[in-house]
């Protein structure tokens, strides 16, 4: 689906309404593909670095997410996990592998609804 700009004060077309509905509410079985970059510091080994990734849907809650690390291999952290699904996004957690570690990882995600 291609997104396009809706001009203020213009006639609202059926395609505009469909675009809005398709973004805000994902059907069961729907998917969303995006990118994430999570980085930060932890001063204890095993500490969490956390990042909230916003999703396109503002109504539907994802049921699962698959992360890859193709853009940034995990550095000083374990493979990221995805707890905390809400409407509007989900949380990405990384746990550090050392003390005062500057951890980072990044890549693509696929949300399942």
- Provide the phi-psi class of 76: left if phi over 0, else alpha when psi is between -120 and 50, else beta: left
Global pTM reads 0.74
21 by DSSP, 3-state: which?
helix
* pLDDT tens string 15-72: 666 666 556 778 889 999 999 999 999 999 999 999 999 998 888 999 999 999 999 9
48-54 and 72-75: which strand pairing? unpaired
């Amino acid at each position: 689906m291609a997104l396009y700009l809706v001009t203020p004060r213009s006639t609202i077309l059926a395609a505009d309404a469909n675009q809005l509905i398709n973004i805000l509410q994902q059907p069961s079985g729907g998917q969303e593909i995006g990118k994430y970059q999570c980085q930060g510091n932890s001063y204890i080994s095993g500490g969490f670095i956390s990042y909230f990734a916003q999703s396109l849907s503002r109504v539907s809650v994802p049921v699962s997410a698959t992360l890859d690390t193709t853009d940034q291999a995990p550095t000083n952290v374990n493979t990221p996990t995805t707890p905390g699904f809400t409407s509007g996004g989900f949380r990405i957690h990384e746990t550090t592998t050392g003390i005062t570690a500057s951890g980072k990882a990044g890549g693509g995600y696929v949300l399942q609804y």
